[in-house]
Chain A
Amino acid sequence: MGDILKQLQEAIIIGEPDQARGLATQALEAGVAPLVAIEEALNPGMQVVGDRYERGEYFIPDLMMAAEAMKTAMAVFEPVLMARQEQRQVLGTVVIGTVEGDIHEIGKSLVATMLSAAGFQVHDLGVDVPAGEFVEQVQETRANVVGLSALLTTTMRNQGVIIEALKEAGLREQVKVIIGGAPASPEWAQIIGADAYVENANEAVAVVRGLLGSHKGGKMRSGGER
């Protein structure tokens, strides 16, 4: 049993989703409780991945594949957790998307992946997302964080529109709003009443942890488009 968990951890570290799925299934079959597998294989695996990135041994594709492996393993564990009425500990629930009128995806997706790998429950709404959809999703998922991405000087205004919509829906108090994207800035965050501006995906993890009251991490830019 310990062997399976060790292998599962390794599958996360080397970023092999198929292996991770198989090993997660094996672990369940061997009677390992999902929460134990998450605690003893997945989380420490992601920790190693993070450390290797910090040391410069790992690069973004390594992080992304590890996160994918983590996701496939979680997909195996989640139905069992539900059935057992257990919950994995998540650091928070995040609704994230690129604002209406803007179809730029990569920076937002990097942030979503990194947050998810760091232990947040992430609902990625995709691109060109209207304000109303953010509001609905925040209500539905009871999110405590909203991430708004915009890559264009012309669409960044919609970050403010969404914050207003959250206020109108009476949800602004329950969520922290982070904004990002090439034209955004800390000053812009202040103008539109966001809680924080984040420049890159790792900073997003650190900032969100900070906003929700836990510790901070390293740095990685996500401004992948122009």
Chain B
Amino acid sequence: MRPCLQFLSHETIKRAVSEAYDLLRDPGVRIYSDRARHLLAEHGAEVDFEAQVVRIPADLAHQAVETAPSSFHLYDADGQPVVHYGDDDVHFDPGSAAIEILDHGANHSRSPVTADFVRFAKLADGLNALDGVATSLVCADVPQEIADLYRLYMVLLYTRKPVVTGAFAVETWAVMKDLLVAVAGSEKTLAEKPTAVFDVCPSPPLLWSEITCENLMDCAQYRVPAELVSMPLAGATGPVTLLGAVVQHTAENLSGVTIHQLVNPGAPIVWGGSPAAFDMRTGTPPMGAIETVMIDCAYAEVGKYLGLPTHAYLGMSDAKVVDAQCGFESGISAVLGALAGINMISGPGMLDFESCFSLEKLVIDAEIVGMAKRLVVGMVERETPLALEIIRQVGHTGNFLSMPHTRRWFREELFIPSPVVDRDFRRNWEAKGSLDVTERAHRRVEEVIAAYEPRELPVEIVRELEAITLRAAQSAGMDRLPSW
């Protein structure tokens, strides 16, 4: 039996969805994209073009939910469907778009550069607990106009895993699509076997900026999976009641599904988000707050009720360094997200309200992910009878270690952590230098990076990726790409 977590009754979900449909009609959604407003108007939505407000009829939104697929796969470099967005399958990938990086041992963060990205990509590629990678660092050594596509370029050069990414501008989406097509071979192949998903974020409350809305429609057009990341801040940009935040999240995501499916019915789309329970003392959006996690898990229940694949930003911490708070917040939220059966959980490696990345945190989080994945496998009935025979066989000797039964099952029953998790005798621990978890994590970072095996992309593809990126860089005023 798979253990699961439930916050909402069927009845409550239905009420939340019904209120969300009501919100789409009144007050409607403010959409800063002309193309989206016209599209919605053509399909019967009432549009106030001056106020840029669209009132979406319930049946239009409902129809979109019906045409959106309930599952799809993301593929790795070998064309294997390694991520299944659907059912209660759980996957993890690193948090995305950090504008800061924390070096080992440092108390101050700094802006990441290309060399940091290379280390990150090698590390993320080598950590088996992570099913996907993300474009996790925003490099400061390239013009900000190309920062989004540059990180995708780096990820494609270095990793084999599916990618969670996103564009920062309307125009760069097409360049990022071109990068993906360069590797996939054609737009058709990319659509059939998508290798990346794009985060698109409505702005709370009930707003779509032009950038994200255009990105959303472009994803639909090319059937590149889109991930809706609605992020009400409970008490600040959304209701403080947790259920109220879920209602707003539902309405925002429903508006996204509607726009998306109108462009291209059946294109893959994910019910994701990054809400937070606003901190009333400091005015921050804590990603490690228990209420943040509750909103995430509850909206995932709504997504499942609607029959859509799910995603959330969890496994993060608001701590500024890799400390105990960092561990407990990341651990609690990753575990709860896994129990909620969220298909893709993005967040490992991320500190400081999703703004700062730590490689050491990433490897610690990989252990949390390993445990969370083991947890959701649950108690498995390996044998019938459950244990009668083996216990009788051992009798009163107390030694199961030398039984074939133990060796037969222990690798499946037990999650075996890396040495990042200390389970040694105290004397051994002292003999090895009395290293705390951050020190052990740092060693593992270096080991995994050293063991990295290059992605073997055909040289003509590498050239094309470089040419595409260089063109974008040059139009942003940078003559040559950074060397590393």
B355 touching A222, Cβ below 8 Å: no
| Contact (A105, B237) CB under 8 Å given A153-B138, A226-B355 | yes
A157 touching B144, Cβ below 8 Å: yes
B186–chain A nearest beta-carbon distance, Å:
30
CA distance A183 to B231 in the complex (A): 18
CA distance A35 to B155 in the complex (A): 63
Q: Which residues does chain A contribute within 8 Å of B240, judged by CB atoms?
A: 61
Q: Pick the residue among B32, B147, B282 that contacts A221 (CB under 8 A).
A: B282
Q: Which residues does chain A contribute within 8 Å of B198, judged by CB atoms?
A: none
Interface size class of B (residues with CB under 8 A): 20 to 34
Q: Which of B79-87, B273-281, B377-385 contacts A (4 or more CB under 8 A)?
A: B273-281
Contact with A along B121-142 (1 / 0, CB 8 A): 0000000000000000010000
Residue B482 is within 8 A (CB to CB) of chain A in the complex: no
Q: Which residues does chain B contribute within 8 Å of A153, judged by CB atoms?
A: 99, 138, 144, 147, 168
| Contact (A56, B144) CB under 8 Å given A154-B169, A182-B99, A224-B236 | no
B283 touching A200, Cβ below 8 Å: yes
B194–chain A nearest beta-carbon distance, Å:
25
CA distance A3 to B211 in the complex (A): 55
Closest to B167 in A: A154
Q: Which residues does chain A contribute within 8 Å of B147, judged by CB atoms?
A: 153
B2–chain A nearest beta-carbon distance, Å:
32
Chain B 198-221 residues near chain A, CB threshold 8 A = 203, 207, 209-211
CA distance A223 to B237 in the complex (A): 12
Q: Pick the residue among A60, A102, A226 that contacts B283 (CB under 8 A).
A: A60
B45–chain A nearest beta-carbon distance, Å:
20
A226 touching B282, Cβ below 8 Å: no
B285 touching A110, Cβ below 8 Å: no
Residue B19 is within 8 A (CB to CB) of chain A in the complex: no
B144 touching A221, Cβ below 8 Å: no
Q: Pick the residue among A60, A101, A106 that contacts B281 (CB under 8 A).
A: A60
Closest to A185 in B: B111
Closest to B240 in A: A61
CA distance A176 to B302 in the complex (A): 48
Q: Pick the residue among A59, A104, A157, A224 that contacts B284 (CB under 8 A).
A: A224
| Contact (A226, B354) CB under 8 Å given A60-B281, A153-B99 | yes
B280 touching A59, Cβ below 8 Å: yes
A193–chain B nearest beta-carbon distance, Å:
18
Q: Which residues does chain B contribute within 8 Å of A59, judged by CB atoms?
A: 280-281
Which secondary structure characterizes the binding site on chain B?
loop
Residue A103 is within 8 A (CB to CB) of chain B in the complex: yes
Closest to B205 in A: A105
CA distance A101 to B235 in the complex (A): 25
Q: How many residues of A contact B (CB 8 A)?
A: 28
Q: Which residues does chain A contribute within 8 Å of B284, judged by CB atoms?
A: 221, 223-224
Chain A 135-168 residues near chain B, CB threshold 8 A = 152-154, 156-157
Residue A220 is within 8 A (CB to CB) of chain B in the complex: yes
Query: Most chain-A CB neighbours within 10 Å: which of B169, B240, B354?
Result: B169
Query: Most chain-B CB neighbours within 10 Å: which of A182, A220, A225?
Result: A225
A105–chain B nearest beta-carbon distance, Å:
7
A225 touching B237, Cβ below 8 Å: yes
Q: Which residues does chain A contribute within 8 Å of B168, judged by CB atoms?
A: 152-154
A225–chain B nearest beta-carbon distance, Å:
7
Contact with B along A212-226 (1 / 0, CB 8 A): 000000001111111
Residue A11 is within 8 A (CB to CB) of chain B in the complex: no
A224 touching B231, Cβ below 8 Å: no
Residue A201 is within 8 A (CB to CB) of chain B in the complex: yes
CA distance A152 to B138 in the complex (A): 12
Query: Most chain-A CB neighbours within 10 Å: which of B203, B283, B285, B355?
Result: B283
CA distance A128 to B355 in the complex (A): 23
Query: Most chain-B CB neighbours within 10 Å: which of A102, A223, A224?
Result: A224
B285 touching A56, Cβ below 8 Å: no
Can you identify 24 A-B contacts, CB atoms within 8 angstroms?
A59-B280, A59-B281, A101-B209, A101-B210, A103-B32, A103-B203, A103-B209, A104-B203, A105-B237, A128-B32, A153-B138, A153-B147, A154-B144, A156-B144, A157-B144, A221-B282, A222-B283, A223-B283, A224-B233, A224-B236, A224-B285, A226-B274, A226-B285, A226-B353
Q: Which residues of B contact A (CB under 8 A)?
A: 32, 99, 138, 144-145, 147, 168-169, 203, 207, 209-211, 231, 233, 235-237, 240, 274, 278, 280-285, 353-355
Q: Which residues of A contact B (CB under 8 A)?
A: 56, 59-61, 101-106, 110, 128, 152-154, 156-157, 182-183, 200-201, 220-226
Seed contacts A103-B32, A226-B231, A226-B354; 17 additional CB < 8 Å A-B pairs:
A56-B281, A60-B280, A60-B281, A61-B280, A104-B203, A105-B237, A106-B236, A106-B237, A152-B168, A182-B355, A183-B99, A223-B285, A224-B283, A225-B233, A225-B237, A226-B274, A226-B285
